[in-house]
Amino acid sequence: MEFKSQVGSFGNNFNNRTEESLGSATDIWTAYREGVFALSQRPWLGYVMVLEEAAGSTSPVSVKEPHFPVLDEFRDASYAKRYEIMMTKLLRERLYDGAALLMTSQMTGPEGHYSEPNPELTIENLLKSLRARVVSALE
């Protein structure tokens, strides 16, 4: 299970978080393929991102296209939306088995308040996937 968070510096850190998530999953799957884990079931991988809900994360971001056109899904997409896109693709490409995107503000976060902007990327869905894996491993 990988846990990440981001407060501020959205433009500087989104690409880094994307590279880290891809690299971590690829490393685990390569190790599994090569038998590093000895005899074991397929690993279950989870990814949780807690993103600051602020103007910098929720406002549309412009794109630059000096070498090739940007995919339409990224045009005018905020960093929060870009995290949704990235994390959905991580699930659909089966790099991760569960993923959750939580957003919280500096004002309400310390009180435990958060939102889940995408119904596919909720803590509940991630935990259901993990629970199913634990149950299957115990059978």
Q: Which residue has the higher pLDDT, 126 or 13?
A: 126
Give tens-digit pLDDT for 24-56.
999 999 999 998 987 778 899 999 999 988 887
**What residues contact 49, with CB distance under 8 A and at least 6 apart?**
4, 5, 6, 17, 83, 87, 99, 100, 101, 102
Q: Quick one: pLDDT band at residue 5, thresholds 50, 70, 90?
A: confident
Q: Quote the pLDDT of residue 24.
A: 94
What's the whole-number mean pLDDT along residues 77-101?
94
- Structural domain boundaries in the chain: 2-138
Cα–Cα distance between 103 and 87 in angstroms, integer?
14
Q: Is the pLDDT of residue 132 over 90?
A: yes
Cα–Cα distance between 20 and 103 in angstroms, integer?
19
What's the whole-number mean pLDDT along residues 106-126?
89
Q: Quick one: pLDDT band at residue 118, thresholds 50, 70, 90?
A: very high
Query: What is the token pair recorded at 128?
Result: 């259901």
Query: What is the token pair recorded at 108?
Result: 């309400």
Q: Is the pLDDT of residue 86 over 90?
A: yes
Q: Quote the pLDDT of residue 1.
A: 93
Query: What is the token pair recorded at 58?
Result: 């929720």
DSSP string, 3-26: EEEE-S-HHHHHHHHHHHHHHHHH
Cα–Cα distance between 20 and 15 in angstroms, integer?
9
* Percent of the residues in the chain that have a pLDDT greater than 90, as a whole number: 53
Q: Quote the pLDDT of residue 81.
A: 94
